[in-house]
Amino acid sequence: MVETMEQYQENLKKIYELQKFGIKLGLSSTENLLSRLGNPHKSLKCVHLAGTNGKGSVAAMVDATLREAGYETGMYVSPHLVRFTERFKVGGREIEKEDVLRISRKVWQVVDEREPPTFFEFVTAMAFVWFAEKKADPVLLETGMGGRLDATNICSPLVSVITTLGLEHQEYLGPTLAHIAREKAGIIKPKVPCVHGVLQKSAKKVIEDTARSLESPVVARGRDIFFRRLKDGSFNLKGRKWDLKGLRTSLAGRHQPSNACLALGVLEELSFHGYEINEEHIRRGLAGVRWPGRLDKVSHKEGEPAIWLDGAHNVPAAKALVESLDEVRGASSRLIMVLGVMADKDLRHILGLLTPAADKVIFSRPHYKRAADPQVLAEAAPRGLDYETEKDLKEAVKRAVRLAGPDGAVLITGSLFTVGEALSFLETD
């Protein structure tokens, strides 16, 4: 049991204070920190995932399938939605607060004040320590940003995965898709297979040229692994080992069969490494996978509208959400959108995609310093929009529920911070 909740919260506050060091692209600080911890990452078998969107869904699908096959997997993701402990899972179970406190103290003991870690470097070190302690096998690691200089890139993976690419974090990763592809391709290791779903010609060339120079086998969606959506909502997957018909996944959205295709590519590579996986494991894993906050139906109480969450935090994610809005609307008579976006995003493009799909939009914001003011969002939105502004997110959601009525639907979107804050009070109400 945690010594006191106050100690746990004080510890988290201290970790969050490392955010003052910002984003530091480079591996030396993480390497030095982990060296002082005994290099726990060197004992781990990893699957390393990078990409603009889809990393979490692919990782969750692989994780769910491997657990069906009896493996005690590790999973490291960011950001978390509600609880810090969501970032670290073994066997589908979040880390206990007692372990957060104990392991963070272990990491603090070896921090060199002359080389203070960033928040992400510190938390990544915690992850490696915990996964090594728990003997997790394999460990699914999401990059925080980019790839080449991301703190997770000190791992030695069995498989590297690059999901999709879009323009993101251009101040750090570069102005074009080709620049961004070079950063993502930095996770590819010599002779380690790379599974990817990159479609844009310039970016795809960068990924595959990098792999070729490192003698890394490439498994490409649409060339080596395939998916096909069926009219009844199921889909087929075909790889080099399995040809699977009539699959279903619990994750909503038209893009999920595409993510499942990449998951199949990863699972096939793991099977070639000796992991014992069969068709039934894949079927059950895809059918039972959970990935909260991504086109996630969280409530449909009697007498109230359906409430959906989706962290459409960039242009490609917004496009994917729009393509799946028929699932959100269903038979609903009215769709009310609650939208909060970070100020540094492409507001006009994101809002231009999302807001026309709603009958009414309520612009709001999470309690996060980077969030755009609701009035700024309203000014960036298309003209002629039926909208309101409400700075308090909880009040915005309450208002949306009233406006939608029992036969309508509410969609809370625009940022994972918006989704996480909404989920925190929806879970407790």
pLDDT, mean of residues 283-289:
97
State whether 84 and 191 are in the same domain: yes
- Closest to 282 (Cα-Cα) out of 292, 273, 270: 270
State whether 328 and 223 are in the same domain: no
State whether 177 and 279 are in the same domain: yes
Last residue of a domain, one of 237, 271, 288: 288
State whether 15 and 67 are in the same domain: yes
Q: What order of strands is seen across the sheet that includes strand 360-363?
A: 296-299, 306-310, 409-413, 335-339, 360-363, 387-389
- Kindly indicate the confidence band of residue 381, based on its pLDDT and cuts at 50, 70 and 90: very high
State whether 41 and 101 are in the same domain: yes
C-alpha span between 183 and 171 (Å, rounded): 13
Cross-strand pairs, 411: 308, 337
State whether 237 and 315 are in the same domain: no
pLDDT of residue 429: 60
Strand segments, DSSP code E, in 77-189 are 88-90, 93-94, 139-142, 157-162
The parent domain of residue 313 ranges over 296-428
In Å, how far from its chain's centre is CA 340? Answer: 18
Please give the helix or strand (H or E) that residue 181 lies within, else none.
helix 177-185
State whether 245 and 309 are in the same domain: no
Per-position DSSP letters for 53-84, written without gaps between them: S-HHHHHHHHHHHHHHTT---EEE-SS-SS-G
In Å, how far from its chain's centre is CA 176? Answer: 22
Q: Minimum mean pLDDT among 208-212, 310-314, 329-333: which range?
A: 329-333
C-alpha span between 192 and 195 (Å, rounded): 10
pLDDT tens figures, 81-130: 999 999 999 999 999 999 999 999 999 999 998 888 999 999 999 999 99
200, 162 in Cβ contact below 8 A? no
Last residue of a domain, one of 288, 313, 346: 288
State whether 64 and 202 are in the same domain: yes
- Closest to 58 (Cα-Cα) out of 50, 46, 69, 67: 50
pTM above 0.75, yes or no: yes
pLDDT of residue 3 exceeding 90, the answer is no
State whether 284 and 302 are in the same domain: no
pLDDT tens figures, 398-413: 999 999 999 999 999 9
- Which residues have a Cβ under 8 Å from the Cβ of 189 and sit 6 or more positions away? 156, 157, 160, 214, 216
State whether 283 and 384 are in the same domain: no
Per-position DSSP letters for 191-242, written without gaps between them: T--EEE---SHHHHHHHHHHHHHTT--EEEBTTTBEEEE-TTS-EEEE-SS-
pLDDT of residue 169 exceeding 60, the answer is no
Query: Residue 30: exposed, middle, or buried by beta-carbon count in 10 A (0-12, 13-18, 19+)?
Result: buried
**CATH number reported for the structural domain that contains residue 94 in this entry:** 3.40.1190.10
| Residue whose entry in the numeric block shows the structure tokens 């204070």 | 17
| Distances from the Cα of 286 to the Cα of 139, 235, 251, 257, angstroms | 18, 11, 8, 10
Last residue of a domain, one of 251, 270, 288: 288
C-alpha span between 220 and 224 (Å, rounded): 5
State whether 342 and 261 are in the same domain: no
Count structural domains, the chain.
2
Cross-strand pairs, 362: 338, 388
pLDDT of residue 281: 98
Q: Is 38 left (phi over 0), alpha (psi -120 to 50) or beta?
A: left
Structure tokens, 57? 């869904």
State whether 283 and 322 are in the same domain: no
**CATH number reported for the structural domain that contains residue 344 in this entry:** 3.90.190.20
pLDDT of residue 23: 65
- Where is pLDDT greater, at 36 or 177? 36
- Kindly indicate the confidence band of residue 72, based on its pLDDT and cuts at 50, 70 and 90: very high
pLDDT of residue 1 exceeding 70, the answer is no
pLDDT tens figures, 125-135: 999 999 999 99
